[in-house]
Chain A
Amino acid sequence: MESNMSGPYSRLPATEGRLASQQSETPPVDLRLHHALGAVEPGQPLDQNARVAIEVRHLNFYYGTHQVLFDISLPIRQRQITALIGPSGCGKSTFLRTLNRMNDLIPETRIEGEAIFDGENIYDPAIDVIRLRQRIGMVFQRPNPFPKSIFDNIAYGLRIQRKPRRQIQEEVERSLRAAALWDEVKDRLKASALGLSGGQQQRLCIARALALHPEVLLLDEPCSALDPIATLKIEELLLSISKEYTIVIVTHNMSQAARISQYTGFFLNGRLIEYGPTAELFKRPRQRETEDYISGRFS
């Protein structure tokens, strides 16, 4: 443990200008901080009284006849960050996509069980999927801005809701600020979003989701296409908005899960092997598989 660090995000002065100068993105962050972070206490302080935002119960999921999720049950707590970890192909993305019914778009999929969100079952055929997706936003693995201007990217979801022009302008600024992107793009809102760097694009995608005031934000490996510095910025951003939003993040990066989340779920072969507070799961895993997986890359 490094006792000289007051918290995971106390910023060290950049001692090596080399890395910072390679990246145009400010502020410079010392890479060693990034590596050191894995060694600090895992898990963010959690709110014991947090209510459950989505209660998933006995979820099974099939692609055709191929079952990929087996009897998943877990609570997703309000205004907490829940991290989902597990080896490739274990069903993390599939699970995440069941939460806002993105799997509906894939033909021949089947789902059993329930996920209660705000008193209603997400899989109830009567549910308004459009409304559901506006309340449960999603950010994808690869930054996927529309080939439109920065402004139009964020305004897109608001225009769907027929918000008045004035409000759209305000929301664009608010969500860009929340995504820590405003200062970098405020002078070129009309420029194409494709001209942004990968990290900026991903923050734009987060801002685009935040513009709709979702209650839950799902992120599927949002940093896997980004370099460590851009990754750190996204993590900071997620921590800063986690006071207001319920966040579920899939990540391959276990130190990332340890750094930012309050709760962690470990998936293996379509089953939820272990779920609990991040600090406990990382320090005292109850299951052999969890321990093996964590220690495999964590020690």
Chain B
Amino acid sequence: MSVPMPTSSSSSSTLQSGESRLHPFLATRSSLNLRRRLVNALVVLFTTLAALFAAGLLIYLLCYVLSQGLRYINLDFFTQLPTPNGEPGGGMGEAFQGSLILIALASLMGVPLGLFTGIYLAEFGRGPFAQGVRFLVDVLNGIPTIIFGLLAWVLIVIPMQSFSGLAGGFALGMIMIPIVTRTSEDVLRLVPRELREASLALGATEARTILQIVLPAARNGIITGVVLAMARVAGETAPLLMTAFGTTFWNTDVTQPMDALPLRIFQFTLSPYQQQVNQAYAGAFVLIVLILLASLAVRLAAGGFKQR
């Protein structure tokens, strides 16, 4: 703070105290007051409108998708193959089957790798190497997912000379790694140090402490991260275009092209047959609901985690 001249300082302070004696907080000039209120009201109005707009978009999306596709959601939709040439009936059973297999493959790869990286970063990660890993994981998280498709294409599709579920699972697994890593690192760090010290003070090794005390204490948070990652890759389309590729037949052979829900939605949206376009909306609706459910489950689990 600058030190003003003694005279000016005394005069200004008396003026302020004289004012504040009347009304400590309310401005004396009413025009200023009015403008402040107006600005305040406008800010409230605009932010509220923006929030309404964002929420409205989601509701509109749901309603639209539902109105277009609801008629086509029935048992056949989940259990039948697409009909040839847009004939009535049929479903996209192979897409549900394929998505399940792809997510399982991706989890098989992404969950252990992500979890162990997260454990490393939270428990042992000090120094420049850990900083580097942390940075790379963040970068990985920001990379457009089609790049992972490209990678799987180069590493798996080309050598195997075939599109395959394996390649799709690999690409999705890469996407899962950073999500699982970051969430598990975060929740592992939330486990109180006292708990680790209690275990170590009883003669436990670091490994046992992590496996038997820290991981169980962070279990809900880790599951949250895994579910989030699964929900995220369930909707991925781009990296599957050049890996799993899609098929309209039942397929459990991971070395062969495999269908997936977003792939089928993509194909059917471009279809010349109106019924397939509508089925695409039905598929989109199911996908949105699945992701909504996952988010909801995560919310519940996260709430349970915080309460502890």
Contacts and interface: CB of A to CB of B under 8 A. Distances in A.
B127 to A, nearest CB: 9
A36 interface: no
13 contacts: A100-B201, A105-B200, A107-B126, A137-B201, A144-B194, A145-B198, A146-B199, A146-B217, A147-B217, A147-B308, A160-B204, A205-B198, A209-B202
A156 B197 CA distance: 13
Contacts of A138: 197, 201
Contact of B202 (A107, A147, A148, A157): A157
B192 interface: yes
A75 to B, nearest CB: 23
Interface residues of B, number: 20
Interface centre among B198, B199, B203, B217 (most CB of A within 10 A): B203
Contact of A147 (B201, B203, B216): B216
B118 to A, nearest CB: 19
Contact of A140 (B126, B198, B203): B198
Interface in A119-139: 130-131, 133-134, 137-138
B208 interface: yes
Contact of A160 (B196, B202, B216): B202
B296 interface: no
A208 interface: yes
A131 B203 CA distance: 6
B205 interface: yes
Contact of B195 (A107, A130, A146, A161): A146
Nearest to A208: B202
Nearest to A153: B198
A171 B68 CA distance: 67
Interface in B93-141: 126
A148 B197 CA distance: 16
B213 interface: yes
Contacts of B308: 147, 194
Interface in B192-226: 192, 194-205, 208, 212-213, 216-217
Given A142-B194, A147-B217, A156 B199 contact: yes
A82 to B, nearest CB: 18
Contacts of B208: 160
Contacts, number: 63
B203 A144 contact: no
A218 B213 CA distance: 22
Contact of A133 (B194, B200, B212, B216): B200
A158 to B, nearest CB: 9
Given A146-B195, A147-B195, 11 more contacts: A102-B200, A102-B201, A130-B204, A131-B203, A138-B201, A140-B198, A140-B201, A142-B194, A145-B198, A156-B202, A156-B212
Contacts of A205: 198
A73 to B, nearest CB: 25
A157 B126 CA distance: 28
**Chain B interface, >50% SS class:** helix
Interface of A: 100, 102, 105, 107, 130-131, 133-134, 137-138, 140, 142, 144-148, 156-157, 160-161, 194, 205, 208-209, 212
A113 to B, nearest CB: 22
Contacts of B200: 102, 105, 133
Contact of A144 (B195, B205, B212, B216): B195
Closest 6 CB pairs of A and B: A157-B202, A134-B203, A144-B194, A138-B201, A144-B198, A133-B203
Nearest to A133: B203
Contacts of B197: 102, 105, 138, 140, 144
Nearest to B126: A107
A79 B297 CA distance: 54
Contacts of A147: 195, 216-217, 308
Interface string B215-252: 01100000000000000000000000000000000000
B218 to A, nearest CB: 10
A162 to B, nearest CB: 12
B54 to A, nearest CB: 38
Residue among A157, A161, A205 with max Cβ neighbours from chain B (10 Å) = A157
A133 B195 contact: no
A161 B203 contact: yes
A161 B204 CA distance: 9
Interface in B131-185: none
Contacts of A146: 195, 198-199, 213, 217
Nearest to A107: B126
Contacts of B194: 140, 142, 144
A187 to B, nearest CB: 24
A130 B217 CA distance: 23
A130 to B, nearest CB: 5
Contacts of A156: 199, 202, 204, 212
- Which residue, of B192, B212, B216, has the highest number of chain A Cβ atoms within 10 A? B212
Contacts of B202: 133-134, 137, 156-157, 160, 208-209, 212
Contacts of A133: 200-203
Contacts of B204: 130, 156-157, 160
B208 to A, nearest CB: 7
Contacts of A194: 308
A212 B196 CA distance: 18
Contacts of A100: 201
Nearest to B203: A134
